[in-house]
Amino acid sequence: MSQSSTKLQENGHPADREADPEVVPKARRRTFTAAYKQRILREADGCNKRGRVGALLRREGLYSSHLTNWRRERDANRLSDSSERRRGRKPQQSAAEKESARLRRENARLRKQLEQANLIISAQKKLAQALEQTLDQKDEKER
In whole angstroms, give the CA distance from residue 31 to residue 83: 13
Given a cut of 90, whether residue 109 has pLDDT beyond it is yes
Report whether 15 contacts 7 (CB < 8 A).
yes
What's the average model confidence in pLDDT over 12-36? 73
Q: What is the pLDDT of residues 41-61, one digit of tens each?
A: 999 999 888 999 999 999 999
In whole angstroms, give the CA distance from residue 107 to residue 95: 18
Q: Which of 29-38, 47-56, 84-93, 110-119 has the lowest mean pLDDT?
A: 84-93
Instruction: Domain ranges for the chain, please list them.
Output: 10-17+27-84, 96-143
Tell me which amino acid residue 37 is.
Answer: K
pTM of the model: 0.44
Q: What is the pLDDT of residues 64-86, one digit of tens each?
A: 999 999 999 898 887 765 555 66
